[in-house]
């Protein structure tokens, strides 16, 4: 069924515009509170947020909604998204909330929900909350209104947990690391974890002001960090996004490695150690065909899902896999965490560096990627460019030109009014022409 509020990753949009208004956030909190509070026992919700200005507004609105239905609210303050998943489970909460629009600019925001086991909610649960949201929400009696408590040690709990994922008796001594926190939720946690593990840390993006989250920094803009790695003679660069659930790495030569390269490295190492569940990696349809060919040569299975880390996690939980992720840098390792965790994924890479004694450049180029081109085309809300004859013909012409030598993936974004036109082909000139023609058709239709 079509959904009014929830997209592929919670509720998201421009702050103070539908559906991201304080009023809807309050009702959403009340609806989720009523959904999870099904008896008279004590019920808990933990709420984390990133550093954008509107996150404070939505945090308080959600708090009011939850408390109005009798949920006790625990406020974590600015913490990474994976910390919310972890603390939802460890604090025995019924639901966790992260207020963040991830890698989007400051004017956007979003609300992500986690169930009691720390995993993102299913489509079915979100649909039931939507039904409550549009109905008459039953509020609690005055004596049953929930309490609100600010938790001061939530970030510390996450920092200590992250450090436990690094091999025992191993340290980062002698390594110089640039870490770009995107002026986001990990601006405190990431530098502390790396420093306490022994590294010399060069922090970037650690001065949030409410407006500079993801602004020319972080995983979507790694150029500044790459230049800093080279200038400082650093061993590695780590670029997180606004809520720190994704990571992009930079080797000592300033070259960028995406999530596919990191997944391939971890999968290879885990398979060799007998730790890769069912010898399988889960990724989305966006992952490079070069990775697929590499894994096949290593005897490692690849399962592809729809775009979105929640679909990766659903496939992992259904079949018992323990490693998955996205090319964009969401890396999910269910031996440790319940959602993408950029910092812990980077620690896995650093573990490989420490164990092997090899530089980042020798580990970050696991396979030779096929030429891949992605073009994002913005369209007017309410229009449907992919349904027009013009775009359908452009796609058909592109498929015919490829002739089975590559692939196309054209889809509407689940979080922004964008059509993403992606193609792969060994003939880069042909690829560029096909993607350009389809993108141009979308522009004309949108």
Residue 34 half-sphere exposure toward CB, CA atoms < 13 A = 21
Catalytic residue selected from 54, 55, 68, 102: 102
Check if the beta carbon of residue 215 is closer than 8 Å to that of residue 58: no
Task: Say how far residue 49 (Cα) sits from the centre of its chain.
Answer: 14
Give the helix/strand (H/E) hosting 50: none
427: Cβ contacts below 8 Å, ≥ 6 apart = 371, 405, 406
- Number of CB atoms found within 10 A of residue 141's CB: 7
Planar angle of CA 438, 443, 445, nearest 5 degrees:
95
User: 17 catalytic, yes or no?
Assistant: no
The residue among 215, 178, 167 whose CA lies nearest residue 348 is: 167
Place of tokens 């500044």: 224
> 191 is written with which tokens?
């530098």
| Nearest residue to 339 (alpha-carbon basis) of 349, 329, 348 | 329
Distance (Å, rounded) from C-alpha 371 to C-alpha 171? Answer: 37
The DSSP code for 206 is: -
Q: Which residue has the tokens 């966006």?
A: 286
Active site residues: 102
């Amino acid at each position: 069924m079509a959904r009014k509020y929830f997209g592929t990753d919670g509720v998201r949009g421009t702050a103070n515009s539908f559906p991201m208004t304080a009023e809807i956030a309050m009702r959403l909190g009340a609806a989720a509170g009523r959904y999870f509070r099904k008896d008279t026992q004590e019920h808990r919700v933990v709420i984390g947020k990133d550093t954008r200005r509107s996150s404070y507004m939505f945090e308080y609105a959600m708090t009011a909604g939850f408390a109005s239905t009798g949920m006790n609210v625990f406020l974590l303050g600015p913490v990474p998204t994976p910390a919310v998943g972890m603390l939802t489970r460890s604090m025995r909460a019924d639901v966790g909330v992260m207020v963040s629009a991830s890698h989007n600019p400051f004017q956007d925001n979003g609300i992500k929900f986690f169930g009691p086991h720390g995993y993102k909610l299913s489509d079915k649960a979100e649909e039931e909350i939507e039904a409550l949201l549009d109905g008459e929400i039953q509020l609690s009696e005055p004596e049953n209104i929930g309490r609100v408590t600010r938790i001061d040690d939530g970030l510390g709990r996450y920092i200590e947990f992250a450090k436990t994922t690094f091999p025992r008796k191993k340290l980062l001594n002698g390594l110089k690391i640039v870490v770009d926190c995107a002026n986001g939720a990990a601006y405190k946690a990431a530098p502390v974890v790396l420093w306490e593990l022994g590294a010399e840390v060069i922090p970037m993006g650690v001065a949030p002001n409410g407006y500079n989250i993801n602004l020319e920094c972080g995983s979507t803009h790694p150029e500044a960090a790459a230049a800093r790695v080279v200038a400082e003679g650093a061993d590695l660069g780590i670029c997180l996004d606004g809520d720190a659930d994704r990571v992009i790495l930079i080797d000592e030569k300033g070259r960028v490695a995406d999530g596919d390269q990191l997944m391939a490295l971890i999968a290879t190492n885990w398979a060799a150690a007998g730790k890769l569940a069912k010898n399988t990696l889960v990724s989305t349809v966006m992952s490079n065909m070069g990775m697929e060919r590499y894994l096949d040569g290593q005897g490692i299975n690849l399962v592809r899902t729809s775009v979105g880390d929640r679909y990766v996690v659903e496939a992992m939980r259904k079949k018992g896999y323990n490693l998955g992720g996205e090319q964009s840098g969401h890396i999910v390792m269910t031996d440790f965490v319940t959602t993408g965790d950029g910092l812990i994924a980077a620690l896995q890479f650093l573990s490989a560096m420490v164990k092997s004694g090899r530089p980042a450049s020798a580990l970050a180029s696991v396979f030779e990627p096929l030429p891949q081109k992605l073009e994002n085309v913005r369209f007017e809300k309410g229009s449907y460019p992919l349904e027009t004859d013009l775009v359908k013909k452009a796609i058909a012409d592109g498929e015919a030109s490829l002739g089975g030598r590559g692939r196309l993936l054209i889809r509407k974004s689940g979080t922004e009014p964008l059509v993403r036109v992606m193609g792969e082909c060994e003939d880069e000139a042909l690829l560029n022409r096909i993607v350009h023609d389809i993108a141009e058709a979308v522009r004309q239709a949108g």
